Amino acid sequence: MPSPNPGNRTYACSSGEITIAVETAEQWRALAVCLGRPELAYEGAWDIVLSAPADGPVARVVGEMFCDDTAESWKRRLDAHGVRCVTVAT
């Protein structure tokens, strides 16, 4: 399992939590598009995400997006975009 970073951690949703496991720049791009924030997938962003703290500024931006809907809704969307994730029982 990769080190925790904004693409590899658990986020709170409006109901429940979701754990994402992004492993490539392509998956990071898919996550950014799914979140409605394609600008997060700029050239070189994945390299920055890999070394970013799991609770740092990038994670806070991503976390704000997940708070807008339930874990189950996000799971369906992320699955459709090819982003590995699981819902977490709370």
User: Residue 82 region, left (φ>0) first, then alpha (ψ -120 to 50), else beta?
Assistant: left
Task: State pLDDT tens for residues 52-87.
Answer: 999 999 999 999 999 999 999 999 999 999 999 999
Q: How confident is the model at residue 89 (pLDDT cuts 50, 70, 90)?
A: confident
Instruction: With residue 85 as reference, give the H or E element that holds it.
Output: strand 85-88
Asked, for residue 39, whether it belongs to a domain, the answer is: yes
Q: How confident is the model at residue 3 (pLDDT cuts 50, 70, 90)?
A: confident
Asked, for residue 2, whether it belongs to a domain, the answer is: no
pLDDT above 90 for 2: no
Quote the number of domains for the chain: 1
pTM: 0.92
* CATH number reported for the structural domain that contains residue 62 in this entry: 3.30.1540.10
Asked, for residue 44, whether it belongs to a domain, the answer is: yes
